[in-house]
Chain A
Amino acid sequence: MCLAIPAKVIGLDGTKAHVDFGQGVLRDVNISLVNVKVGQYVLVHAGYAIQVLEEEEALETLSIWKDVLAAGE
Protein backbone atom coordinates (compact mmCIF):
# COMPACT_ATOMS: atom_id res chain seq x y z
CA MET A 1 0.00 0.00 0.00
CA CYS A 2 2.99 2.27 0.29
CA LEU A 3 3.37 1.84 -3.45
CA ALA A 4 4.44 5.10 -5.09
CA ILE A 5 4.96 5.64 -8.80
CA PRO A 6 7.32 8.18 -10.37
CA ALA A 7 5.77 10.72 -12.72
CA LYS A 8 7.03 13.79 -14.57
CA VAL A 9 5.43 17.14 -13.79
CA ILE A 10 4.24 18.75 -17.01
CA GLY A 11 2.03 21.52 -15.64
CA LEU A 12 1.17 23.30 -12.39
CA ASP A 13 -2.13 24.74 -11.20
CA GLY A 14 -2.23 25.81 -7.55
CA THR A 15 -2.19 22.72 -5.33
CA LYS A 16 -2.50 20.47 -8.39
CA ALA A 17 0.06 19.29 -10.90
CA HIS A 18 -0.56 17.63 -14.24
CA VAL A 19 1.81 14.67 -14.39
CA ASP A 20 2.91 12.11 -16.94
CA PHE A 21 3.39 8.53 -15.68
CA GLY A 22 4.82 7.55 -19.07
CA GLN A 23 3.22 5.54 -21.87
CA GLY A 24 0.48 8.13 -22.24
CA VAL A 25 -0.90 7.96 -18.71
CA LEU A 26 -1.68 11.52 -17.61
CA ARG A 27 -3.31 12.54 -14.36
CA ASP A 28 -3.74 15.46 -12.00
CA VAL A 29 -2.14 14.94 -8.61
CA ASN A 30 -2.15 17.01 -5.43
CA ILE A 31 1.19 18.67 -4.64
CA SER A 32 0.41 20.10 -1.17
CA LEU A 33 3.18 17.98 0.37
CA VAL A 34 6.05 19.04 -1.93
CA ASN A 35 7.66 22.02 -3.63
CA VAL A 36 8.04 21.06 -7.24
CA LYS A 37 8.78 22.64 -10.63
CA VAL A 38 7.71 21.67 -14.14
CA GLY A 39 10.11 19.06 -15.54
CA GLN A 40 10.91 17.45 -12.19
CA TYR A 41 9.87 13.93 -11.24
CA VAL A 42 7.65 13.27 -8.25
CA LEU A 43 6.68 10.07 -6.46
CA VAL A 44 2.92 9.72 -6.48
CA HIS A 45 1.06 7.81 -3.78
CA ALA A 46 -2.77 7.70 -3.70
CA GLY A 47 -3.16 10.83 -5.81
CA TYR A 48 -0.59 12.88 -3.91
CA ALA A 49 3.03 13.67 -4.71
CA ILE A 50 4.88 12.63 -1.54
CA GLN A 51 8.45 13.51 -2.55
CA VAL A 52 10.51 14.96 -5.40
CA LEU A 53 12.78 12.46 -7.13
CA GLU A 54 16.35 13.69 -7.51
CA GLU A 55 17.46 12.73 -11.01
CA GLU A 56 21.09 13.64 -10.38
CA GLU A 57 21.13 11.77 -7.10
CA ALA A 58 19.76 8.71 -8.91
CA LEU A 59 22.54 8.78 -11.48
CA GLU A 60 25.14 9.34 -8.79
CA THR A 61 23.77 6.45 -6.74
CA LEU A 62 24.09 4.10 -9.70
CA SER A 63 27.62 5.20 -10.40
CA ILE A 64 28.56 4.77 -6.73
CA TRP A 65 27.07 1.26 -6.69
CA LYS A 66 29.07 0.38 -9.78
CA ASP A 67 32.24 1.68 -8.11
CA VAL A 68 31.52 -0.20 -4.91
CA LEU A 69 31.02 -3.40 -6.87
CA ALA A 70 34.13 -2.85 -8.96
CA ALA A 71 36.31 -2.04 -5.97
CA GLY A 72 35.81 -5.40 -4.32
CA GLU A 73 35.32 -5.48 -0.61
Chain B
Amino acid sequence: MTQTTRFRNPELVKNIAEKIKEVAPKKSKVKMCHVCGTHEWTITHFGLRSLLPENVEVIAGPGCPVCIVPAAEIDEAVQLSKKDIVVTCFGDVLRVPGSEFSLLEAKAEGADVRVVYSVSDAVEMAKQEPNKEFVFHAVGFETTAPITAVEALGDLPKNFSFLVSHRLIPPAMELLLGLGDLEISGFIAPGHVSAIIGLKPYELFARVYRMPTVVAGFEPVDVMMGIYMILKQVHENTARLENEYSRVVKPEGNIKAQELMTQAFKVTAGNWRGIGRLPDSALQLRPTLVQFDAREKFDVRVEQGKDILLGCECHLVVIGKIKPSECPMFLKGCTPAKPIGACMVSSEGTCRVWAKNVAVQT
Protein backbone atom coordinates (compact mmCIF):
# COMPACT_ATOMS: atom_id res chain seq x y z
CA MET B 1 0.00 0.00 0.00
CA THR B 2 1.05 3.55 -0.51
CA GLN B 3 1.77 4.31 3.15
CA THR B 4 4.24 1.45 3.34
CA THR B 5 5.95 2.56 0.14
CA ARG B 6 6.28 6.11 1.40
CA PHE B 7 7.96 4.94 4.58
CA ARG B 8 10.39 2.87 2.51
CA ASN B 9 11.51 5.80 0.36
CA PRO B 10 15.26 5.22 -0.21
CA GLU B 11 15.96 8.93 -0.78
CA LEU B 12 14.44 9.83 2.56
CA VAL B 13 16.37 7.03 4.27
CA LYS B 14 19.62 8.34 2.73
CA ASN B 15 18.83 11.87 3.92
CA ILE B 16 18.25 10.62 7.44
CA ALA B 17 21.53 8.68 7.29
CA GLU B 18 23.32 11.95 6.41
CA LYS B 19 21.65 13.72 9.33
CA ILE B 20 22.64 10.85 11.61
CA LYS B 21 26.28 11.36 10.62
CA GLU B 22 25.99 15.07 11.44
CA VAL B 23 24.44 14.62 14.84
CA ALA B 24 26.35 11.48 16.01
CA PRO B 25 29.32 12.02 18.31
CA LYS B 26 32.56 12.09 16.36
CA LYS B 27 34.49 9.54 18.41
CA SER B 28 32.72 8.22 21.50
CA LYS B 29 30.56 5.14 21.05
CA VAL B 30 26.77 5.31 21.25
CA LYS B 31 24.88 2.10 21.79
CA MET B 32 21.10 1.95 21.63
CA CYS B 33 18.84 -0.99 22.16
CA HIS B 34 15.55 -2.03 20.60
CA VAL B 35 13.32 -4.68 22.13
CA CYS B 36 11.38 -5.98 19.18
CA GLY B 37 12.09 -8.81 16.77
CA THR B 38 10.33 -6.88 14.00
CA HIS B 39 12.74 -3.95 14.49
CA GLU B 40 15.65 -6.37 14.19
CA TRP B 41 14.11 -7.74 11.01
CA THR B 42 13.76 -4.25 9.48
CA ILE B 43 17.31 -3.25 10.48
CA THR B 44 18.84 -6.48 9.19
CA HIS B 45 16.69 -7.07 6.14
CA PHE B 46 17.17 -3.53 4.79
CA GLY B 47 20.85 -3.40 5.84
CA LEU B 48 20.30 -0.28 7.93
CA ARG B 49 23.37 -0.91 10.13
CA SER B 50 25.53 -0.34 7.05
CA LEU B 51 24.18 3.22 6.86
CA LEU B 52 25.23 4.10 10.41
CA PRO B 53 28.58 5.58 11.48
CA GLU B 54 30.92 2.97 12.97
CA ASN B 55 30.58 4.34 16.49
CA VAL B 56 26.76 4.07 16.46
CA GLU B 57 25.60 0.62 17.42
CA VAL B 58 22.05 -0.73 17.56
CA ILE B 59 21.65 -3.91 19.57
CA ALA B 60 18.70 -6.27 19.93
CA GLY B 61 17.24 -6.82 23.40
CA PRO B 62 14.64 -9.38 24.51
CA GLY B 63 12.14 -8.57 21.78
CA CYS B 64 11.07 -12.01 20.68
CA PRO B 65 8.27 -13.40 22.85
CA VAL B 66 8.82 -16.91 21.53
CA CYS B 67 12.53 -16.87 22.42
CA ILE B 68 11.95 -15.98 26.06
CA VAL B 69 9.24 -18.56 26.86
CA PRO B 70 10.98 -20.74 29.45
CA ALA B 71 11.49 -24.43 28.71
CA ALA B 72 9.23 -25.29 31.69
CA GLU B 73 6.24 -23.75 29.88
CA ILE B 74 7.01 -25.64 26.66
CA ASP B 75 7.25 -28.76 28.87
CA GLU B 76 3.75 -27.97 30.15
CA ALA B 77 2.46 -27.77 26.57
CA VAL B 78 4.19 -31.07 25.71
CA GLN B 79 2.69 -32.72 28.82
CA LEU B 80 -0.77 -31.52 27.81
CA SER B 81 -0.28 -32.92 24.31
CA LYS B 82 0.53 -36.30 25.84
CA LYS B 83 -2.80 -36.33 27.69
CA ASP B 84 -4.77 -36.68 24.47
CA ILE B 85 -5.42 -32.96 24.39
CA VAL B 86 -5.17 -31.05 21.11
CA VAL B 87 -2.50 -28.36 21.62
CA THR B 88 -2.76 -25.38 19.27
CA CYS B 89 -0.10 -22.71 18.88
CA PHE B 90 1.43 -20.15 16.53
CA GLY B 91 3.88 -21.61 14.00
CA ASP B 92 6.88 -20.02 15.72
CA VAL B 93 6.14 -21.85 18.97
CA LEU B 94 6.16 -25.30 17.40
CA ARG B 95 9.93 -25.81 17.36
CA VAL B 96 10.91 -23.98 20.56
CA PRO B 97 12.96 -26.45 22.58
CA GLY B 98 11.53 -27.70 25.86
CA SER B 99 13.70 -29.46 28.43
CA GLU B 100 13.55 -32.62 26.34
CA PHE B 101 11.03 -32.13 23.55
CA SER B 102 9.56 -29.37 21.42
CA LEU B 103 5.89 -29.48 20.46
CA LEU B 104 7.01 -30.51 16.97
CA GLU B 105 8.82 -33.54 18.41
CA ALA B 106 5.73 -34.37 20.48
CA LYS B 107 3.70 -34.17 17.27
CA ALA B 108 6.17 -36.51 15.53
CA GLU B 109 5.51 -39.01 18.31
CA GLY B 110 1.80 -38.89 17.65
CA ALA B 111 0.48 -35.97 19.70
CA ASP B 112 -2.22 -33.81 18.10
CA VAL B 113 -0.45 -30.45 17.81
CA ARG B 114 -1.91 -27.92 15.37
CA VAL B 115 -0.59 -24.60 14.11
CA VAL B 116 -3.09 -21.76 13.92
CA TYR B 117 -2.89 -18.25 12.48
CA SER B 118 -5.14 -16.83 15.17
CA VAL B 119 -6.53 -17.99 18.50
CA SER B 120 -10.00 -17.60 16.99
CA ASP B 121 -9.12 -20.42 14.54
CA ALA B 122 -8.34 -22.65 17.53
CA VAL B 123 -11.65 -21.75 19.20
CA GLU B 124 -13.46 -22.61 15.98
CA MET B 125 -11.77 -26.04 15.84
CA ALA B 126 -12.84 -26.71 19.44
CA LYS B 127 -16.45 -25.86 18.55
CA GLN B 128 -16.38 -28.24 15.60
CA GLU B 129 -14.81 -31.11 17.57
CA PRO B 130 -16.69 -30.99 20.90
CA ASN B 131 -15.56 -34.48 21.90
CA LYS B 132 -11.92 -33.35 22.19
CA GLU B 133 -10.19 -31.00 24.64
CA PHE B 134 -8.34 -28.06 23.05
CA VAL B 135 -5.60 -25.90 24.57
CA PHE B 136 -4.13 -22.77 22.97
CA HIS B 137 -0.57 -21.98 24.02
CA ALA B 138 -0.85 -18.20 24.32
CA VAL B 139 2.59 -16.71 23.70
CA GLY B 140 3.28 -13.04 23.04
CA PHE B 141 3.79 -9.57 24.47
CA GLU B 142 1.19 -6.82 24.96
CA THR B 143 0.43 -6.82 21.22
CA THR B 144 -0.96 -10.34 21.43
CA ALA B 145 -2.32 -10.54 25.00
CA PRO B 146 -5.49 -8.45 24.30
CA ILE B 147 -6.48 -10.99 21.63
CA THR B 148 -6.29 -13.79 24.18
CA ALA B 149 -8.32 -11.55 26.51
CA VAL B 150 -11.11 -11.05 23.93
CA GLU B 151 -11.45 -14.81 23.46
CA ALA B 152 -11.17 -15.61 27.19
CA LEU B 153 -13.96 -13.14 27.98
CA GLY B 154 -16.05 -14.21 25.00
CA ASP B 155 -18.21 -17.18 24.25
CA LEU B 156 -15.76 -20.05 24.74
CA PRO B 157 -16.78 -23.70 24.41
CA LYS B 158 -16.31 -25.87 27.52
CA ASN B 159 -13.63 -27.97 25.81
CA PHE B 160 -11.27 -25.00 25.34
CA SER B 161 -8.59 -23.58 27.63
CA PHE B 162 -5.39 -21.52 27.54
CA LEU B 163 -1.82 -22.21 28.54
CA VAL B 164 -0.86 -18.58 29.12
CA SER B 165 2.79 -17.60 28.54
CA HIS B 166 2.24 -13.87 27.92
CA ARG B 167 4.98 -11.48 29.04
CA LEU B 168 5.22 -7.69 29.42
CA ILE B 169 7.94 -5.59 27.78
CA PRO B 170 8.60 -2.64 30.17
CA PRO B 171 9.92 -4.88 33.00
CA ALA B 172 12.42 -6.41 30.54
CA MET B 173 13.57 -2.93 29.50
CA GLU B 174 14.05 -2.04 33.15
CA LEU B 175 16.12 -5.19 33.61
CA LEU B 176 18.45 -4.15 30.77
CA LEU B 177 19.07 -0.84 32.54
CA GLY B 178 20.04 -2.78 35.65
CA LEU B 179 22.78 -4.55 33.68
CA GLY B 180 25.15 -1.61 33.93
CA ASP B 181 27.76 -3.19 31.66
CA LEU B 182 25.52 -2.96 28.58
CA GLU B 183 26.13 0.81 28.51
CA ILE B 184 22.98 1.69 26.58
CA SER B 185 22.41 5.36 25.66
CA GLY B 186 18.88 5.03 24.31
CA PHE B 187 15.86 2.84 23.76
CA ILE B 188 13.98 2.28 20.53
CA ALA B 189 10.63 1.26 22.02
CA PRO B 190 8.45 -1.28 20.18
CA GLY B 191 5.73 0.28 18.04
CA HIS B 192 3.09 -2.42 18.16
CA VAL B 193 3.38 -3.12 21.88
CA SER B 194 3.05 0.65 22.27
CA ALA B 195 -0.05 0.71 20.03
CA ILE B 196 -1.69 -1.15 22.91
CA ILE B 197 -0.01 0.22 26.07
CA GLY B 198 0.57 3.81 24.90
CA LEU B 199 3.45 6.01 26.02
CA LYS B 200 3.00 6.18 29.79
CA PRO B 201 4.76 2.91 30.74
CA TYR B 202 7.99 4.27 29.18
CA GLU B 203 7.95 7.61 31.01
CA LEU B 204 10.18 6.39 33.82
CA PHE B 205 12.98 5.49 31.40
CA ALA B 206 13.45 9.13 30.39
CA ARG B 207 12.54 10.66 33.74
CA VAL B 208 14.17 8.31 36.25
CA TYR B 209 16.90 6.60 34.22
CA ARG B 210 17.67 9.65 31.98
CA MET B 211 17.42 7.35 28.96
CA PRO B 212 16.35 8.86 25.61
CA THR B 213 13.40 6.70 24.53
CA VAL B 214 11.73 6.83 21.11
CA VAL B 215 8.73 4.72 20.11
CA ALA B 216 9.33 3.80 16.47
CA GLY B 217 7.50 2.08 13.64
CA PHE B 218 8.76 -0.73 11.44
CA GLU B 219 9.56 0.69 8.04
CA PRO B 220 13.13 1.80 7.22
CA VAL B 221 12.20 5.50 7.50
CA ASP B 222 10.66 4.85 10.93
CA VAL B 223 13.66 3.02 12.35
CA MET B 224 16.23 5.44 10.90
CA MET B 225 14.21 8.38 12.22
CA GLY B 226 14.04 6.69 15.65
CA ILE B 227 17.83 6.33 15.66
CA TYR B 228 18.23 9.97 14.59
CA MET B 229 15.87 11.20 17.33
CA ILE B 230 17.84 9.30 19.99
CA LEU B 231 21.17 10.61 18.69
CA LYS B 232 19.81 14.13 18.70
CA GLN B 233 18.85 13.76 22.36
CA VAL B 234 22.29 12.32 23.15
CA HIS B 235 23.84 15.30 21.33
CA GLU B 236 21.71 17.75 23.34
CA ASN B 237 22.48 15.84 26.54
CA THR B 238 18.82 15.43 27.31
CA ALA B 239 16.44 12.51 27.88
CA ARG B 240 12.89 12.64 26.56
CA LEU B 241 10.18 10.20 25.58
CA GLU B 242 9.27 10.78 21.92
CA ASN B 243 6.84 9.11 19.54
CA GLU B 244 8.00 8.59 15.97
CA TYR B 245 5.07 6.26 15.18
CA SER B 246 2.18 8.64 15.83
CA ARG B 247 0.19 7.27 12.89
CA VAL B 248 -0.38 4.14 14.97
CA VAL B 249 0.63 4.88 18.57
CA LYS B 250 -1.67 7.21 20.46
CA PRO B 251 -0.36 8.58 23.77
CA GLU B 252 -3.05 6.71 25.69
CA GLY B 253 -2.64 3.52 23.60
CA ASN B 254 -5.62 1.29 22.85
CA ILE B 255 -7.81 1.76 25.92
CA LYS B 256 -10.33 -0.87 24.88
CA ALA B 257 -7.52 -3.43 24.64
CA GLN B 258 -6.05 -2.36 27.99
CA GLU B 259 -9.43 -2.72 29.71
CA LEU B 260 -9.98 -6.20 28.31
CA MET B 261 -6.48 -7.22 29.41
CA THR B 262 -7.17 -5.98 32.93
CA GLN B 263 -10.48 -7.84 33.01
CA ALA B 264 -8.94 -11.12 31.88
CA PHE B 265 -5.50 -11.13 33.49
CA LYS B 266 -3.64 -10.31 36.65
CA VAL B 267 0.00 -9.29 36.50
CA THR B 268 2.40 -11.64 38.21
CA ALA B 269 6.10 -12.56 38.32
CA GLY B 270 7.30 -14.67 35.40
CA ASN B 271 10.35 -16.58 34.23
CA TRP B 272 12.10 -15.50 31.03
CA ARG B 273 14.31 -17.98 29.22
CA GLY B 274 17.95 -17.06 29.68
CA ILE B 275 17.08 -14.08 31.85
CA GLY B 276 15.44 -15.42 35.00
CA ARG B 277 12.46 -14.36 37.06
CA LEU B 278 11.21 -10.81 36.61
CA PRO B 279 8.63 -9.30 38.97
CA ASP B 280 5.35 -8.03 37.46
CA SER B 281 6.31 -9.25 34.00
CA ALA B 282 3.81 -12.03 33.22
CA LEU B 283 0.06 -12.42 32.86
CA GLN B 284 -2.15 -15.01 34.49
CA LEU B 285 -5.87 -15.58 33.92
CA ARG B 286 -7.97 -14.14 36.74
CA PRO B 287 -9.63 -16.60 39.17
CA THR B 288 -13.02 -15.87 37.56
CA LEU B 289 -11.67 -17.48 34.36
CA VAL B 290 -10.04 -20.43 36.11
CA GLN B 291 -12.13 -22.90 34.08
CA PHE B 292 -10.19 -21.75 31.00
CA ASP B 293 -6.76 -22.04 32.64
CA ALA B 294 -5.22 -25.26 31.28
CA ARG B 295 -2.73 -25.47 34.17
CA GLU B 296 -5.60 -25.68 36.68
CA LYS B 297 -7.98 -27.67 34.50
CA PHE B 298 -5.52 -30.47 33.79
CA ASP B 299 -3.24 -30.06 36.81
CA VAL B 300 -0.12 -29.43 34.76
CA ARG B 301 2.63 -27.35 36.29
CA VAL B 302 6.36 -27.59 35.58
CA GLU B 303 8.39 -25.41 37.95
CA GLN B 304 11.84 -25.87 36.48
CA GLY B 305 13.06 -26.64 32.98
CA LYS B 306 16.34 -26.84 31.09
CA ASP B 307 16.44 -23.43 29.39
CA ILE B 308 19.88 -23.34 27.81
CA LEU B 309 21.66 -26.27 26.23
CA LEU B 310 25.41 -26.70 26.58
CA GLY B 311 27.25 -24.45 24.13
CA CYS B 312 24.19 -22.36 23.25
CA GLU B 313 24.54 -18.67 24.07
CA CYS B 314 20.95 -17.55 23.54
CA HIS B 315 20.91 -16.17 27.08
CA LEU B 316 23.58 -13.63 26.06
CA VAL B 317 22.07 -12.91 22.62
CA VAL B 318 18.66 -12.21 24.10
CA ILE B 319 19.93 -9.37 26.33
CA GLY B 320 22.14 -7.92 23.61
CA LYS B 321 25.39 -8.85 25.34
CA ILE B 322 26.73 -10.69 22.30
CA LYS B 323 25.85 -10.69 18.62
CA PRO B 324 24.62 -13.95 17.11
CA SER B 325 27.87 -14.25 15.14
CA GLU B 326 29.77 -14.30 18.45
CA CYS B 327 28.05 -17.51 19.54
CA PRO B 328 30.31 -20.50 18.68
CA MET B 329 27.30 -22.47 17.43
CA PHE B 330 25.88 -19.79 15.11
CA LEU B 331 25.47 -21.34 11.64
CA LYS B 332 27.65 -24.24 12.75
CA GLY B 333 25.72 -26.56 15.05
CA CYS B 334 22.73 -24.20 15.13
CA THR B 335 20.97 -23.29 11.87
CA PRO B 336 17.42 -22.29 10.83
CA ALA B 337 16.89 -25.84 9.52
CA LYS B 338 18.14 -27.41 12.76
CA PRO B 339 17.96 -24.84 15.54
CA ILE B 340 19.52 -25.56 18.93
CA GLY B 341 18.58 -22.40 20.79
CA ALA B 342 15.27 -20.55 20.93
CA CYS B 343 16.76 -17.45 19.24
CA MET B 344 17.27 -19.49 16.05
CA VAL B 345 13.72 -20.89 16.08
CA SER B 346 11.39 -17.94 15.77
CA SER B 347 11.29 -15.82 12.63
CA GLU B 348 11.81 -12.89 15.03
CA GLY B 349 14.67 -14.44 16.99
CA THR B 350 17.86 -12.40 16.57
CA CYS B 351 19.91 -15.43 15.46
CA ARG B 352 17.27 -16.48 12.94
CA VAL B 353 17.01 -12.96 11.49
CA TRP B 354 20.81 -12.78 11.15
CA ALA B 355 21.04 -16.27 9.67
CA LYS B 356 18.46 -15.43 7.01
CA ASN B 357 20.20 -12.16 6.11
CA VAL B 358 23.79 -13.16 6.77
CA ALA B 359 25.24 -11.40 3.74
CA VAL B 360 24.35 -7.93 4.98
CA GLN B 361 25.67 -8.51 8.49
CA THR B 362 29.37 -8.69 7.76
- Which residues does A use to contact B, with CB under 8 Å? 1-4, 6, 8, 22, 30, 32-35, 41, 43, 45-48, 50-51, 53-55, 57-58, 61-62, 65-66, 68-69, 72-73
Whether A3 contacts B247 by the Cβ 8 Å rule is: no
Q: Do residues A46 and B221 form an inter-chain contact, with CB atoms below 8 A?
A: no
**Known interface pairs A2-B37, A57-B246; 7 further A-B residue pairs with C-beta atoms within 8 A, sorted by A's residue number:** A1-B66, A35-B256, A46-B119, A50-B196, A58-B247, A65-B225, A73-B22
Q: In this complex, what residue of B is CB-closest to A32?
A: B150
- Cβ of B247 and Cβ of A73 under 8 Å apart? no
For chain B, residues 106 to 150, give those with C-beta under 8 angstroms from any C-beta of chain A. Answer: 117-121, 139-141, 143-144, 146-147, 150
Q: Is B337 an interface residue (CB 8 A)?
A: no
Q: Do the beta carbons of B3 and A58 come within 8 Å of each other?
A: yes
* Bound complex: CA A72 to CA B232 (Å): 11
B150, B235, B247: residue with the most chain A Cβ atoms closer than 10 Å: B247
B36 contacts partner chain A, Cβ-Cβ < 8 Å: yes
CA distance in complex: A66, B7 (Å): 12
User: Within the assembled complex, what's the spacing in Å between the Cα atoms of A53 and B192?
Assistant: 12
B12 neighbours in A (Cβ, 8 Å) = 62, 65-66, 69
- For A51, the chain B residues whose CB sits under 8 A away are 195-196, 248-250, 254
Q: Which of A3, A48, A72 contacts B348 (CB 8 A)?
A: A3
B246-A50 in contact (CB<8A): no
Residues of A within 8 A of B249 (CB): 51
Q: Does B211 contact A (CB under 8 A)?
A: no
Say yes or no for B344: interface residue by CB 8 A criterion. Answer: no
Residue from A35, A45, A62 within 8 A of B143 (CB atoms): A45
Closest 5 interchain pairs by CB? A47-B118, A58-B247, A2-B143, A2-B192, A57-B247
B90 touches A46 (CB 8 A): yes
Q: A48-B147, A69-B16 are in contact. Are A1 and B247 (CB under 8 A)?
A: no
In the assembled complex, the Cα of A54 lies from the Cα of B146 at a distance in Å of: 21
Contacting residues, chain B, for A43 (C-beta < 8 A): 192, 195, 248
Q: Kindly provide the distance from the CB of A64 to the nearest chain B CB, expressed in whole angstroms.
A: 9
Inter-chain contacts of A45 with B (CB < 8 A): 143-144, 147, 192
Judging by beta carbons under 8 Å apart, are A2 and B144 in contact?
A: yes
Known: A48-B147, A50-B143. A4 touches B192 (CB 8 A): yes
